[in-house]
Structure 1
C-alpha cells in the first residue's frame, strides 16, 4: 500500500471492481501524457488526447452525450475509420481504465505499433487467463465465454462468433464486455472492447480486475450497494518521523517545568511599615 500521506482517501477497498468511481481521470490520463500524447480540451471540460502519430485517440468525456466517460480508438492511419474501440462508463473504477491506458502508453514509449495492429487471432483465451489464475470461474460455450469471481459481483463476457465491424465501431455491439458491482445506479459499471482491440491491452485490464490489491477511497463516497461485499480497512495515519518524535519530547519536557509563582502585591507584607499609633500605645 502507498504511504498514508500519499493516499487520496480515508479507507482502502478491495476488490477493485466494487470500489466505484473517483470521478477523476488523472490516474488514467497521466501515463499517456508522459508518453508524449497531445492534449486538448473544450469549454465543457472534456479532454481529448492523441498519440504523436495521430493513430490512437482517447476521450475523457464527463460532459459527453451519453454515459460513456472514456472512449478510446485505434486507427490504421490518422484519417482512417477506427480499427478498434474501447469504452468505459462513468462508474468504472479509474484503476481499471488506468491499466488499459498504461499498457497503451508503454506501447508508444517503446515505439510499438501493436496497439494499432494488434488482434485476437491466435490468442483468444489470453485475456481470460489472469482471471482463471485468480480463481475466477471461466466457462467457454459455443457462442459465449463467461468469467465471474467467486462473489459473482463482476462479469466478463466474450462473444465467440464474428460481429459486424460497423456495429461494433458505432458502439451497438461489442466483442467483449466487462462489468462489476451490485446491480443499481452508480454501483454497477460497464466497459467494452471491440473485436480488433489488441489482446494485450485487454489482458492488462483483466490483470487489474483480478488483482486483490486494495485501492483508496473516501468511505462516504463508496457505492452503498457494494459495501457489504467489499473489504474495507481504514487508512492508518503516517508513522511519526524522528523529527516528530524529538519535537514531541521537547514539548512534553517544557510542559513539566514548574512555573515561578510571583506573589500578588496584596499578599506581600511590608515588615518595615510602622505600626499604627493605637497599636503602639497598647504595646507600651
Structure 2
C-alpha cells in the first residue's frame, strides 16, 4: 500500500469527519426531492425546498450571507415561526448532512409528524448512546455533556440548562453542536441543532458521524491538515467480470489470427472478331 502522500487523484477517506466538503449539495438534496419536496432557485444559485405538508423548509445557500450552507427548519403549522433549526456550514462533509436529510425524507414518506414534533419526548441520551456504541468517549458535566472519538478529531456537545427559544432560532445559541477536523477542538466544520430538533434526526446524524465507512474524495480537495490524520486509500478500477474477460479474449483473437492469402485472380482476355458486313446493293 503506498503512503498517503504518494496517492493522487480519486481516493477513499475515513473517518468521514476528516473528509472535508465536496461543495455540492446533491447527495443531501436527493432524498428530499425523492420524498416529494418542491424546490425553487433564486438568481444566485441558492436552492429552497419545502416538504409536501409545508412544515419543513430547507435552504441550500452557497451564496448566502455567512458560512451557513444548510439551514433547515421545522414548523408546527405552515407559515408559523420555526419550532426548531438545524444548520451546517460550508465545510461540513455532505454525508453528515445527508444522514439528517435522509431521516427527514423517511418521515415524509411515512406521513409522519415526527420530523416536527419528535423532539418533545426525546432526550439527549439517544444520540450519545449511538456514539458510545461506536467507541466514542462520553463525558457528562454539570453544564455541558460532550463526546469525542479515540483520535479526538471530532466533538459533539450538548449544553444543559434553559435557553431562549428566540436566540436559538436566530442562530445565536444552540443546544447541540457537532464539529470535526484534525485541529482538534479548533473545528474545521460545524453543525448545530436547537432544543426541539427531533432526537431521531440527531441520532441519524451521529450514526453517520461515527460510521467508519470510507467516502470518496479527490485528494487535492481534502483539507491539508487532515491528510496525515485520516486513512486514505486509492480508488481501484472495478475488477473485470468473467464475461468481460471472455469478450476481451474473443476480440483479441479476432484481431491476431492471420487471414489466408488467396491467389490473385487470372484475367483472360478474349479477342472478338467483328462480323462482316455486306455492302448494300444499289438500285438501278
TM-score between both structures, scaled by the size of structure 1: 0.84
Give distance in 2, aligned partners of 1:111 and 1:53: 9
Structure 1 match to 2:235 = 235
Partner of 1:12: 12
Report the Cα offset of residue 223 of structure 1: 1.1
Q: Is the 8 A contact 1:55 1:75 kept in 2?
A: yes
- Unpaired segments ≥5 residues, structure 2: 1-8, 263-284
1:125 matches 2:125: yes
Alpha-carbon shift at residue 64 of structure 1 (Å): 0.5
Map 1:137-152 onto structure 2 (within 5 A): 137-152=137-152
Please name the residue that 1:181 is paired with.
181
Residue 241 of structure 1 deviates from its aligned partner by: 3.0
Q: Is the 8 A contact 1:35 1:106 kept in 2?
A: yes
Identify the residue that residue 248 of structure 2 maps to in structure 1. 248
For 2:124 and 2:243, locate their aligned partners in 1 and report how far apart those are by CA, in whole Å: 56
Larger Rg: 2
**CA separation in 2, counterparts of 1:122 and 1:196?**
9
Deviations 1:144-188 (A, max 9, x none): 00100010000000001111101100000100000011239xx81
**Count of residue pairs brought into register by the alignment:** 252
RMSD: 1.9
The CA distance in 2 between the partners of 1:123 and 1:178, in whole Å, is: 17
CA distance in structure 2 between the partners assigned to 1:42 and 1:197 by the alignment: 27
Task: Report the equivalent of 1:218.
Answer: 218
Q: How does 1:1-284 map to 2 (within 5 A)?
A: 10-119=10-119, 121=121, 123-183=123-183, 188-254=188-254, 256-258=256-258
After the TM superposition, which parts of structure 1 deviate over 3 Å for at least 4 consecutive aligned residues? 254-262
C-alpha contact (below 8 Å) 1:154/1:179 kept by paired residues: yes
User: With structure 2 as the length reference, what TM-score do the two structures score?
Assistant: 0.84
Q: Which moved more, 1:118-127 or 1:87-96?
A: 118-127
What displacement does 1:258 show? 5.0
- How far apart, CA to CA, are the structure 2 residues paired with 1:32 and 1:250? 46
Contact kept? 2:182, 2:229, Cα under 8 Å: no
Does the 8 Å contact 1:73/1:85 carry over to 2? yes
Classify the secondary structure of the residue corresponding to 1:43. coil
Whole-Å Cα distance in 1 between the matches of residues 57 and 142 of structure 2?
Answer: 34
Indicate how the Cα distance of structure 1 residues 250 and 122 shifts in structure 2: closer, same or farther if over 3 A, else same.
Answer: closer
Q: Distance in 2 between matches of 1:105 and 1:111?
A: 10
CA contact (8 A) 1:120 1:195 kept: no
8 Å Cα contact 1:31/1:102 also seen in 2:
yes
